[in-house]
Structure 1
Amino acid sequence: MKYINYFLLFLSTIISVFLFFVSANQIELVPNKNESYKGEQIMLIEKSNDIQFVKNIAETSIDKYDIMYNQLSDFAAKMNTWIILLFILQLAMGILFFLQFRKNKIKNLKSMQD
Structure 2
Amino acid sequence: QAKRAQSLQNIETFWAEQAENLVWNRHWNKTLEWNPPFAKWFTGGLLNASINCLDKHINSEIKNKAAIIWEGENGENITITYYQLYQKVNQFSNALQNLGVRKGDRVTIYLPMVPELPIAILACSR
Q: TM-score, normalised by structure 1?
A: 0.22
Higher RCO structure, 1 or 2 (CA under 8 Å, sep 6+): 1
Structure whose alpha-carbon radius of gyration is higher:
1
TM-score of the aligned structures, taking structure 2 as reference length: 0.20
More helix by share: 1
